[in-house]
Structure 1
Amino acid sequence: MRKSLTLLAAAATLSTGAFAADYAIDPTHTFASFEIGHFGASVNRGRFDKKEGKISFDKAAKTGSVDVSFDVASVNTGTPNFDKHLQSAEILSAEKFPKARFVSTKFQFSGDKVSAVDGNLTLLGKTQPVTLKANQFACYESPMLKREVCGGDFETTIDRTAFGVNYGVDWGFPKNVRLVVQVEGVKQ
């Protein structure tokens, strides 16, 4: 009897198309960028160029998972001396903590579209919960790759001091850092 129920459940899942698909991160369309105020006069911006990870997504069941890491030493502000300072032990300590990592815990949906992804961000060995709000999200058939691609543009604001990034707070640099994550994954 148990075997029959298991087979029925499997058949029902297959007939509705409800199963997760794996997506490979497209490195040319996936970046984590940051913005932080600079003495109230301007905004410093940068991004992490090297990344790796995996995505699983089930549109029908409205579930998914993300596990993505960014190489801290790949920080790129367009100013090499600033990049080195960000990599230093004073700020991101890239030598001691070479990866920043986001692991999802839950996908949120608005209708059929992902509206946010809850998860945990690890930076400098400290892990904090974050919610990445989707500014846009879509899946499409790529005319170049001849495969389905899903992706979106997400953002959140973190308190950097919760991760131990305290540099410049005493001088008036803000604690809050805006993170913008663009990601696209190619269905495998």
Structure 2
Amino acid sequence: MSKLFALSILGLSLCSFQAQAQNITYEVEPDHSFVTFEVVHNGTSTTRGRFDTITGTVQLDQAAKKGQADIRIDPASINTGSKGFDEHLRDKDFFNVAAFPDVQFQSKAFAFEGDQVSSVTGTLTLLGVQQPVTLKATHFNCYTNTRTQRDVCGGDFETTLQRSQWGVNFGLPGIPDSVRMVIQIEAIKQ
């Protein structure tokens, strides 16, 4: 009788764990999601800009410590605060938005420290070239938005890219190859 009782408790525990472990889909919230970049301009000041339009989804299973992401960036939404510079960045010297209107990051490799996402490794497709990229989390949190009463997860992620890996060679070596990227992203539970 005690073995049957123990097996019943074990079965209930497993059912409870499976109910808690779930893959939840979150949609990128555009008002709190941006990709910014920094590059030193000819050894002098740091040029900064951002992409204003990001869309996509993130699937997160915190109990199983798994996740995946499909994020798209509109390179035409680049914003440095200088219209002339933005137009140059949109042309074939840099993002060639006429031929490549989409930048995509896809990942199925989320790393966790405890319950927090610590990094996301995936593939960045830019100018038709795919390269592996790891985004390190500097902040991560999930909360319930008191205004909308919806669950939100997000954080700050960063990496340094070598732009020449994607064929963005304009201005090398005067404009460095290294570009620091900071991704601020929030996504709403669907």
TM-score computed with the length of structure 2 as normaliser: 0.90
Choose which of 174, 179, 182 in structure 2 pairs with 1:180: 182
Residues matched between the structures, number:
179
Secondary structure at the residue paired with 1:28? Answer: helix
Query: Aligned-pair distance for 1:12?
Result: 2.4
Give distance in 1, aligned partners of 2:63 and 2:17: 11
**Structure with max Cα Rg:** 2
Cα RMSD (Å): 1.6
Q: Is the 8 A contact 1:68 1:103 kept in 2?
A: yes
Give distance in 2, aligned partners of 1:15 and 1:85: 52
Note closer, same or farther for the CA distance 1:53–1:13 as it changes in structure 2 (3 Å cut).
Answer: farther
Q: Deviations over 1:116-136 (max 9, x none)?
A: 000000111101000000001
Unaligned runs of 5+ in 2: 1-10
Choose which of 124, 143, 151 in structure 2 pairs with 1:140: 143
Please show how residues 20-169 of structure 1 align to structure 2 within 5 Å: 20-169=23-172
Query: Aligned-pair distance for 1:16?
Result: 4.1
Q: Is the 8 A contact 1:105 1:120 kept in 2?
A: no
Q: Deviations over 1:65-106 (max 9, x none)?
A: 110111111111110000000000111111001111100130
Consecutive aligned runs of 4 or more in structure 1 exceeding 3 Å deviation: 13-16
Query: Aligned-pair distance for 1:39?
Result: 1.4
Q: Percent identity?
A: 47
Query: Aligned-pair distance for 1:14?
Result: 6.4
Secondary structure at the residue paired with 1:169? Answer: coil
TM-score computed with the length of structure 1 as normaliser: 0.91
Note closer, same or farther for the CA distance 1:59–1:90 as it changes in structure 2 (3 Å cut).
Answer: same
